[in-house]
């Protein structure tokens, strides 16, 4: 039997719903803290510096075609020259020589980085396991199809360009969505309602075309 719907579904969906049905602000969905601040451009200097650094790295590998070993050697040479000039020039200006281990190898900095990495990894694995277990079949299918699309795209472009494109998407799309959140949610809900109406229109016709076998009534006799 075809399934019929009433107009109450349209009325209930007429109110604007957040994208993907989220209830919390986007900053909280992204985990809050420094990561969310960087992605949503709350720390503009850090976000711009990260974007510039990743862009320069991508240009070195893709545009200038540097190899990883060559680039690491050049960076090490520049770092050694900088430390040499800093250490020997400090005496000329009556300044203390740099204490590189205390600046770079700080135990507190390493603990903060390890703690942040552990929190993000745990968050990612929990989401991955929820999707892989099939608790939300729609999210499961979306992730599978997205990974397949990325695999096809990866066969036509280099890994560096693909990673750079993904970084731009993560670094820019959430910021633009938060800025134009109301308009995006309105258009997404409007498109969802139109697809729902189209589905209701063709569902009875599709169900009626499904072949059905003969139904036989079986009588059970009890002794």
159 belongs to a structural domain: no
pLDDT at 51 over 80: yes
> Looking at residue 89, what is its pLDDT?
80
**Among residues of the chain, what percentage have pLDDT more than 70?**
77
Element at 203 (helix H, strand E): helix 181-208
The mean pLDDT of 4-29, rounded to a whole number, is 60
Round to whole Å and give the CA distance between 167 and 6: 44
Q: Within a domain: residue 17?
A: no
Confidence class of residue 76 from pLDDT cuts 50, 70 and 90? very high
pLDDT digits (tens, 9 = 90+) for 140-152: 888 888 888 888 8
pLDDT at 130: 81
150: tokens are 């990325």
Given a contact cutoff of 8 angstroms between Cβ atoms, the answer to whether 184 and 177 are in contact is yes
- Domain membership of residue 66 (yes or no) is no
Is 213's pLDDT higher than 80? Answer: no
Give the integer Cα–Cα distance in Å for 23 and 17: 9
Is 194 part of any domain? yes
Sign of CA dihedral 69, 74, 79, 84: positive
Determine the 3-state secondary structure of 92 from DSSP.
Answer: coil
What the block records as the tokens of 6 is 């009433």
Task: Please count the structural domains in the chain.
Answer: 1
Residue with the two structure tokens 């994208």 = 19
Host domain of residue 195? 186-210
Is there a domain that residue 192 lies in?
yes
User: In this structure, is residue 67 part of a structural domain?
Assistant: no
> pLDDT tens-digit profile of 85-126?
888 887 777 777 766 665 556 677 778 778 888 888 888 888
Instruction: Write the pLDDT tens digit of every residue in 163-184.
Output: 888 899 988 988 888 888 888 8
Residue 193 lies in a domain: yes
Q: What is the CA radius of gyration of the chain?
A: 28
Residue 98: its pLDDT value, please?
A: 66
CA distance 134 to 138: 9
């Amino acid at each position: 039997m075809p399934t019929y719907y009433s107009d109450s579904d349209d009325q209930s969906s007429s109110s604007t719903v957040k994208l993907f049905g989220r209830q919390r602000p986007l900053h909280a969905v992204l985990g809050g803290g420094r990561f969310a601040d960087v992605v949503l451009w709350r720390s503009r200097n850090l976000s711009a510096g990260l974007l510039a650094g990743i862009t320069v790295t991508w240009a070195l590998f893709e545009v200038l075609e540097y190899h990883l070993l060559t680039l690491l050697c050049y960076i090490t040479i520049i770092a050694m020259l900088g430390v040499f000039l800093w250490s020997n020039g400090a005496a000329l200006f009556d300044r203390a020589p740099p204490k590189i281990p205390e600046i770079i190898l700080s135990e507190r900095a390493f603990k903060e980085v390890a703690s942040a990495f552990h929190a993000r990894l745990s968050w990612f694995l929990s989401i991955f396991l929820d999707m892989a277990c099939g608790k939300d079949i729609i999210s499961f299918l979306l992730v599978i199809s997205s990974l397949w699309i990325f695999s096809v795209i990866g066969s036509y472009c280099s890994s560096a360009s693909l990673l750079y494109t993904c970084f731009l998407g993560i670094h820019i799309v959430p910021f633009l969505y938060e800025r134009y959140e109301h308009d995006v949610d309105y258009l997404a809900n409007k498109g969802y309602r139109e697809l729902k109406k189209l589905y209701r229109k063709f569902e009875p016709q599709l169900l009626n075309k499904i072949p059905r076998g003969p139904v036989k009534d079986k009588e059970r006799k009890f002794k």
